Amino acid sequence: MVTRAEKTDDGYILNGSKAFISNGPIADIFIVFARTGEGNNKSFTAFVVEKEFPGVKIGADIEKMGLGSCPTSEIVFDNCMIPKENVLGRYNFGSLIMTMALEWERCFEFVPHIGAMRRVMERCIEHVRSRQQFGRPIGDYQAVSHKIADMKVGIEMSRAMLDRIVDLKDNMKTAFIDTSIFKLYVSEAYIKTCRDAMQIFGGYGYTKEYDIERELRDALACSIYSGTNEMQKNTIYNFTTNGESL
């Protein structure tokens, strides 16, 4: 994090930039985390920033290989004045807010992917029942049927992990590592489901007419956003080796 906020008599001066901001081109309000510690102090603070504030510059929608319905842009802050009352929470306590936000994001962001996996699986089931090769539905062949089985396993395991997270939050407990595991597993299962769907549909899956290629392009991004899967593994490793309860 390189964006910084400097204290003034009237508030804070924000300078820096944020890349790949989902809904950046259409958002009215941003929650911005910026470094506010002195020297090597890595403390940071969360600010509520309105797009109309002087010094807020919103970039053009970035063209991506997928996620066409989610506009994405860079946001630049050039001597942007932030009023004192726009501090979210407490000054220099942004890490607590970020930890909570990431926990919820990795849950809410990936719950819809379970539904997407089920949608893809149902399309595949319909296809393997109607598509025939050598006089038999292709679902009769294990090379195909096992892919459907893997999809079902991915969906049910994802739902089981979600139930655990729901139980923890209902009991007012932290689920930070659980949501990292959830994000990692669901994203990998979602990508595998879409790749297997393309194999099941064959050449048809590679055409735009059948939408399987779009499903795959959208799925690939989920291993990157909300923290890359490699970062999730770092979190899981650190919690596990430090003796934290899973």
Strands (E), 68-153: 72-83, 87-88, 132-133, 136-137
Number of other CB atoms surrounding residue 146 within 10 Å = 11
d(CA 58, CA 241): 41
Q: Which two tokens stand for residue 57?
A: 């510059």
Which class for 69: exposed (0-12), middle (13-18), buried (19 or more C-beta within 10 A)?
A: exposed
- Residues with Cβ within 8 Å of 40's Cβ and at least 6 positions away in sequence, in order, are none
105 is catalytic: yes
Identify the active-site residue in 103, 105, 156, 244: 105
CB-based contact 163:209 (threshold 8 Å): no
List, by residue number, the catalytic residues.
105
